[in-house]
Structure 1
Amino acid sequence: MKHIDISGIEIDKDSDAYQEVKGLTGGLTAKTMQAQTEVNIKNMQDMQAMNAENLAETMRIQREEAQRGQRLQTESNFMGAHSLDQQTSVLHAAAESMGQMGNVGGGDGMNPAGMMTGMMMGGAMGGQMAGMMNQIGQQVQNGMNTPPPMPNISFFVAVNGQQMGPFNMQQLQQLRQNGQLIAQSLVWKQGMSSWAAANTVPELASLFAPPVTGATPPPMP
């Protein structure tokens, strides 16, 4: 025999040996697929845990910054009230001294020199009191007009099937410019029940608004 065409050889698929080999190879394939699935699930769980830790840290920093701003505002108000108390005490002491000046020179009679001095000091204190009240009123008004710090909103973004983030608005703007964030990209932030397309989230609507073109003025009369 000089030549054998093995393509013409058929395997007896009903034999016990074939069934045994088929069972072994099928079991190995199933185990391989199961192991790969378990690895993918663990990687996903690890990534979700990392993202949850990052989000928790971001929220902690935001809470601390907000509390710090409130403490600074409270301390500023306290310092203003303390300054008012101190100035009031000084003016009260000066008023008592002014009352005593009316009796300069002794005796029970009226002292013109003391009265004139008291009137001059009274006018000076009145001007100082008015200036002090204006200053306190201005400080209170400035405190009322100071807006609270803007909230730092962070979103997670699904990029190429991977969960990325969290990103703040400035970072999301850069992703939008780079083409990594599109209108149909899925996003999520704390408080949302599920992932949603980016262009359906009100906070991100401005990222996908069409550019405003220059208005054409009407013809001149």
Structure 2
Amino acid sequence: MSDNNFYSIDKLVEFGMGITIANQMASSMNQSLNQMEIPGAGKAMPSSIETVYYAVMNDTQMGPYSITELSRLITDKKIVKETYVWKPGMKQWDLVENIPEVLRLIALTPPPIPNP
């Protein structure tokens, strides 16, 4: 076999080493790109920050409540579709039926257990 043949041992070893080095470079570049911050692209909100809600119950502002606490109040029928709710970012108080993420909680709340 000639040394110029692609299938010669030297060429195959050289080709294998080239592939290995290319894979290592690609892996290193991907890791660097994943850690890179792009100015102006913004970051996702950390999941530890939870939206808080306030509700008007018995003509009194109550809260702040987490979504879990709000769900409990809905289950206990203390908050209904006609309850006024506010969260940071809203211009004014609004009825639960006009706030999709809270109205969804009411729709997902099971009805009372029937009495036999």
Please, what TM-score do these two structures have when normalized by structure 1? Answer: 0.34
1:163 is aligned to 61
2:40 is aligned to none
CA contact (8 A) 1:187 1:196 kept: yes
* Larger strand fraction of residues: 2
- Name the count of aligned residue pairs: 93
Q: In structure 1, how many angstroms separate the alpha carbons of the residues matched to 2:71 and 2:10? A: 68
1:208 is aligned to 106
1:196 is aligned to 94
Instruction: Compare CA radii of gyration and give the structure with the larger one.
Output: 1
2:113 is aligned to none
Q: In structure 2, how many angstroms separate the alpha carbons of the residues matched to 1:135 and 1:158? A: 55
Quick one: structure 1 residues 191 and 163, their matched pair in 2 at CA, closer, same or farther if it must change by over 3 Å? same
> In the alignment, which of 108, 119, 123 is matched to residue 15 of structure 2?
123
| Code of the aligned partner of 1:192 | M
Q: In structure 1, how many angstroms separate the alpha carbons of the residues matched to 2:29 and 2:101? A: 37
Q: Which runs of 4+ in 1 moved over 3 A?
A: 116-121, 133-141, 147-151
Q: In structure 2, how many angstroms separate the alpha carbons of the residues matched to 1:174 and 1:131? A: 53
Please, what TM-score do these two structures have when normalized by structure 2? Answer: 0.58
* Larger helix fraction of residues: 1
1:132 is aligned to 24
What's the CA shift string for 1:103-157, capped at 9, x where partnerless?
xxxxxxxxx8xxx89646523421212422553576568x9xxx94456321111
Tell which has more relative contact order, 1 or 2 (C-alpha 8 A, sep 6+). Answer: 2
Q: In structure 1, how many angstroms separate the alpha carbons of the residues matched to 2:67 and 2:75? A: 12
Secondary structure, counterpart of 2:61 in structure 1: strand
CA RMSD of aligned residues (A): 3.5
> In the alignment, which of 173, 176, 188 is matched to residue 74 of structure 2?
176
